[in-house]
Amino acid sequence: MSLSYNELYRESIQNPEAFWAEAAERLHWYKKWDKVLDDANPPFYRWFAGGMTNTCYNALDRHVDEGRGNDTAVIYDSPVTGAKKCFTFREFRDEVALFAGALQSRGVRKGDRVIIYMPMIPEALVAMLACARIGAIHSVVFGGFASHELAVRIDDCKPKVIISASCGIEREKIVDYKRLLDFAIELAHFKPEICIIRQREQLKAPLNEERDLTWKQTLLGAEPAPCVPLESSDPLYILYTSGTTGKPKGVVRDNGGHMVALQWSMEHVYGVKPGETYWAASDVGWVVGHSYIVYAPLLNGNATIIFEGKPVGTPDPGVFWRIIEEYGVSVFFTAPTAFRAIKKEDPNASYLEKHDLSNFRTLFLAGERADPDTVKWAEEKLKVPVIDHWWQTETGWAIAANCQGIEPGPVKYGSASRPVPGYNVKVVNHEMEELKAGEMGDIVIKHPLPPGTMLTLWKADNRFTESYMSAFPGYYQTSDAGYIDEDGYVYIMSRTDDIINVAGHRLSTGAIEAELSAHPDVAESAVIGAADDLKGEVPVGFLVLKTGVDTPHGQIVKHVIEYVRENIGPVASFKKAVIVERLPKTRSGKILRSTMRRIANSQEYTMPATIDDPAILDEIKEALQSIGYAK
Ligand code: COA
Ligand code: AMP
């Protein structure tokens, strides 16, 4: 008899080792673990210590060996090029093994880092899984990041090889990935030995003969590589995410804990059975892409979809429904912003009428708060449960969700539902006192975190401890604030740091401020996240100029917008900045960003008691009104 949510949750918290050992039995191990949880060196916990496994084997070969080689594993659908292709588990395993062999023949070994900077094409997955196969550590960098961001990541993880493509396609626009890559390598202090470029017919890239190979050249004469047995805690990947400073954090994921948690989540969080088609419309450059385009569906024996398009404009707001119908998608996962984009273009969901979605069971949303209007619209139009769930790059999978494979609870709008088994979630105040139901505070997770969550930050154990494990000893600090209600439902209300969320993408206001302050005429700057109907939040900049500057203001604003686009990337969607005489600060000099945000969003605010001059807030309001905010 299956256990209730409460029973399963209790079991996971009281007896985590037995709980996760049972889940791990479903996967293949070359050698079983000596200890389920090695807790000898907190906060550096290690799951399945002493176990030997291979994530790629479990994601591909295992299904072939178990007789499912002819089932569909990967579907590529690219409305921007018109290409469509399906791969079985056997076909994909063979592609991955051959590319892995090619990497080995070029000297890539266990522990070497490989950066992958690619659009949404099958080769991106082949490259990731090939690294996993031979124990190389991949670090995928999102294509919407500019050269400077890529260079920072190259210098941090020092890749032996970078794998990229000649171009990406953003609606009608061709993005020259190779040019961005070449410039990034020029900027970086560390230089990779080899770049492997998948040439696409939309734009052929010039090659540097000393360093670059095409994808095809790389495969010439290659032999398929077998899977290399790895320690459970050997790193599978590094994924950089925004921190509060300009320097991104390299989240490190292990092999064993990650595969166990992700496979378990497919069954219990998403309620998906092997053989079904599962689709996460994200990008491999984000954690959602790592976990739910690549690893989790394949580990669970599901077909996964690589979608090279957008919710709208490729070609119309019906593309999601077309794909769900065409490939018989059972469970679909995307960000609320994608639904807001569809709702804006097709408020009556008229495109839905052309499609048969009878196979479709559940919609999952994450990446940002799912606003109740969007959830209700999706429920009404799709007539399936719409499940908000909350997680972070650091955790790699959901912290709170309405687990469809256990015992779904009622949907409460505005809540990401109850903690997922494995996560002991609490809301506390700064004195570490647990708060009562309904009281807002810091959301923290008691150690040990479940398998699949980050091991550490790449070559930065101290930063890992300081950023996440020090403020609340014995707990992981999520940097999200919110509350838990009397039914145990978690409500995520805001970040407690300077991170903003733009179209489901996580950005550091500190990194944008650094770009603004780099302008020779700018003395000081501040960036806030202002509410946006489509993207949830967009960054808005405030510039204080140096005395005596006579450059036209419009020109300065134009330049800083270009700086952010050139150095951080178009994904920041930084389009608005305004020049002010001074910034509102506390007497101790702290910029009052949250008050500025409330003014921008036309929300009530209380005059901060520590403000040095209250009149500045009127100036800020006027400045914001001049660019369409604070109405
Ligand atoms: N490579 C290169 N450039 C990229 C890119 C990529 N992979 N992804 C985005 N960009 C560029 C876009 O072309 C755009 O450039 P522009 O300023 O020249 O127009 C800019 O970055 C912003 O892109 P995006 O955030 O996608 O905004 P948009 O206005 O083009 O589309 C949405 C808006 C809502 C349709 C889009 O943001 C979306 O589909 N969001 C889904 C969110 C998601 O998948 N989140 C992942 C976490 S779950
Ligand atoms: P990322 O690491 O890019 O996945 O971003 C993680 C952050 O996005 C979280 O810390 C939250 O602030 C926010 N977030 C993600 N999912 C949700 C959700 N379902 N509800 C509210 N906020 C969310």
Task: State whether 264 and 408 are in the same domain.
Answer: yes
Given a cut of 80, whether residue 133 has pLDDT beyond it is: yes
* Ligand 1 centroid from CA 169, angstroms: 11
When the pLDDT of each residue in the chain is averaged and rounded to a whole number, the result is 96
* Ligand 2 centroid from CA 289, angstroms: 14
Nearest-atom index, ligand 1, CA of 573: 22
Q: Residue 316 falls within a domain, yes or no? A: no
Ligand 2: which of 478, 506, 537 to mutate, judged by most atoms within 8 Å of the beta carbon? 506
CA 287 and chain centroid, separation: 3
User: pLDDT (tens digit, 9 = 90+) per residue, 186-231?
Assistant: 999 999 999 999 999 999 999 999 999 999 999 999 999 999 999 9
Query: Do residues 489 and 412 lie in contact, with contact meaning Cβ atoms separated by under 8 Å?
Result: yes
At residue 609 the predicted structure's pLDDT band, cuts being 50, 70 and 90, is: confident
Q: Determine which residue's CA is closest to atom 5 belonging to ligand 2.
A: 392
Considering every ligand atom shown, identify the ligand nearest to the alpha carbon of residue 536 and give its number. 1
pLDDT at 606: 81
Query: Do residues 184 and 155 lie in contact, with contact meaning Cβ atoms separated by under 8 Å?
Result: no
* Ligand 2 centroid from CA 390, angstroms: 6
Task: State whether 451 and 519 are in the same domain.
Answer: no
How many domains would you assign to the chain?
2
Q: Determine which residue's CA is closest to atom 4 belonging to ligand 2.
A: 392
Q: Does the beta carbon of 282 lie inside 6 Å of ligand 1?
A: yes
Q: Determine which residue's CA is closest to atom 44 belonging to ligand 1.
A: 282
**For residues 455, 461, 467 and 473, what is the CA-based torsion angle, rounded to 10 degrees?**
80
Q: Determine which residue's CA is closest to atom 15 belonging to ligand 2.
A: 367
Compute the C-alpha angle 538/251/518, nearest 5°.
Answer: 45
pLDDT at 1: 53
> 430-460 burial string, b = 16+ CB within 10 Å, else e?
eeeeeeeeeeebbbbbeebbbbbbbbbbbeb
Task: State whether 444 and 573 are in the same domain.
Answer: no
Nearest-atom index, ligand 1, CA of 572: 22
Domain region containing 33: 5-309+389-457
Task: State whether 413 and 527 are in the same domain.
Answer: no
Q: Does the beta carbon of 288 lie inside 6 Å of ligand 1?
A: yes
Q: Does the beta carbon of 309 lie inside 6 Å of ligand 1?
A: no
Nearest-atom index, ligand 1, CA of 335: 48
Considering every ligand atom shown, identify the ligand nearest to the alpha carbon of residue 390 and give its number. 2
**Average pLDDT rounded to a whole number, residues 241-245:** 80
Q: Which DSSP letter does residue 79 get?
A: T
Considering every ligand atom shown, identify the ligand nearest to the alpha carbon of residue 389 and give its number. 2
CB neighbours of residue 577 within 10 Å: 24
**For residues 185, 186, 188 and 194, what is the CA-based torsion angle, rounded to 10 degrees?**
30
Nearest-atom index, ligand 2, CA of 400: 19
User: pLDDT (tens digit, 9 = 90+) per residue, 388-438?
Assistant: 999 999 999 999 999 999 999 999 999 999 999 999 999 999 999 999 999
> 610-619 burial string, b = 16+ CB within 10 Å, else e?
ebeeeebbee
Task: State whether 173 and 266 are in the same domain.
Answer: yes
Work out the percent of the chain whose per-residue pLDDT is above 90.
94
**Average pLDDT rounded to a whole number, residues 66-94:** 98
What lines the ligand 2 site, CB under 6 Å? 241, 287, 366-370, 388-393, 416, 480, 492, 495, 501, 506
- Please give the Cα distance from 268 to 263 (Å, whole number): 9
Q: Please tell me whether the peptide bond between 119 and the residue prior to it is cis, using omega within 30 degrees of 0.
A: no
Q: Specify the higher pLDDT residue, 123 or 498.
A: 123
Task: State whether 263 and 146 are in the same domain.
Answer: yes
Task: State whether 533 and 446 are in the same domain.
Answer: no
Nearest-atom index, ligand 2, CA of 286: 3
- Please give the Cα distance from 574 to 374 (Å, whole number): 24
Q: Does the beta carbon of 572 lie inside 6 Å of ligand 1?
A: no
User: Of 399, 432, 457, which closes a domain?
Assistant: 457
Query: Do residues 482 and 495 lie in contact, with contact meaning Cβ atoms separated by under 8 Å?
Result: no
* Ligand 2 centroid from CA 389, angstroms: 9
Q: Determine which residue's CA is closest to atom 8 belonging to ligand 1.
A: 144
Residue 43: helix, strand or coil by DSSP?
coil
| Cα-based distances in Å from 309 to 45, 80, 123, 282, 532 | 39, 6, 16, 10, 22
Q: Which DSSP letter does residue 395 get?
A: T
CATH number, domain containing residue 418: 3.40.50.12780
Task: State whether 12 and 108 are in the same domain.
Answer: yes
Q: Does the beta carbon of 341 lie inside 6 Å of ligand 1?
A: yes
pLDDT at 250: 98
Task: State whether 422 and 529 are in the same domain.
Answer: no
Q: Residue 114 falls within a domain, yes or no? A: yes
Q: Residue 209 falls within a domain, yes or no? A: yes
* Ligand 2 centroid from CA 191, angstroms: 34
Q: Residue 477 falls within a domain, yes or no? A: no
- Please give the Cα distance from 273 to 301 (Å, whole number): 8
At residue 614 the predicted structure's pLDDT band, cuts being 50, 70 and 90, is: confident
Q: Does the beta carbon of 284 lie inside 6 Å of ligand 1?
A: no
Nearest-atom index, ligand 1, CA of 175: 2
For 138, list phi and psi in degrees, rounded to 5. -90, 150
Query: Do residues 363 and 386 lie in contact, with contact meaning Cβ atoms separated by under 8 Å?
Result: yes
Query: Do residues 344 and 367 lie in contact, with contact meaning Cβ atoms separated by under 8 Å?
Result: no
**Where do the DSSP E strands lie in 356-474?**
362-365, 386-388, 425-428, 441-446, 456-457
Q: Does the beta carbon of 336 lie inside 6 Å of ligand 1?
A: no
Task: State whether 421 and 559 are in the same domain.
Answer: no
Q: Residue 271 falls within a domain, yes or no? A: yes
Q: Residue 487 falls within a domain, yes or no? A: no
Work out the percent of the chain whose per-residue pLDDT is above 70.
100
Question: What letter represents residue 431's amino acid?
Answer: E
Considering every ligand atom shown, identify the ligand nearest to the alpha carbon of residue 117 and give its number. 1
* Ligand 2 centroid from CA 310, angstroms: 20
Query: Do residues 537 and 629 lie in contact, with contact meaning Cβ atoms separated by under 8 Å?
Result: no
CATH number, domain containing residue 580: 3.30.300.30
Query: Do residues 430 and 384 lie in contact, with contact meaning Cβ atoms separated by under 8 Å?
Result: no
- Please give the Cα distance from 27 to 375 (Å, whole number): 35
Q: Determine which residue's CA is closest to atom 21 belonging to ligand 2.
A: 369
User: Of 424, 457, 490, which closes a domain?
Assistant: 457
Which of 172, 186, 182 shows the shortest CA–CA distance to 206? 182
> 378-394 burial string, b = 16+ CB within 10 Å, else e?
beebbeebbbbbbbbbb
Query: Do residues 8 and 406 lie in contact, with contact meaning Cβ atoms separated by under 8 Å?
Result: yes
Q: Which DSSP letter does residue 172 get?
A: T
Q: Residue 369 falls within a domain, yes or no? A: no
Task: State whether 191 and 52 are in the same domain.
Answer: yes
**Average pLDDT rounded to a whole number, residues 324-343:** 97
Tokens of 248: 């991104």
* Ligand 2 centroid from CA 333, angstroms: 14
Which of 330, 314, 236 shows the shortest CA–CA distance to 280? 330
- Please give the Cα distance from 328 to 382 (Å, whole number): 15
pLDDT at 243: 79
Task: State whether 528 and 442 are in the same domain.
Answer: no
Q: Residue 116 falls within a domain, yes or no? A: yes
User: Could you tell me which residues come within 8 angstroms of residue 427 by beta carbon, excluding any fewer than 6 positions away?
Assistant: 434, 435, 439, 440, 441, 442, 443, 444, 482, 483, 484
* Ligand 1 centroid from CA 195, angstroms: 26
Q: Give one word for 573, left, alpha or beta, with left for phi > 0 and alpha for psi -120 to 50.
A: left
User: pLDDT (tens digit, 9 = 90+) per residue, 475-501?
Assistant: 999 999 999 999 999 999 989 988 999
User: Of 423, 457, 491, which closes a domain?
Assistant: 457
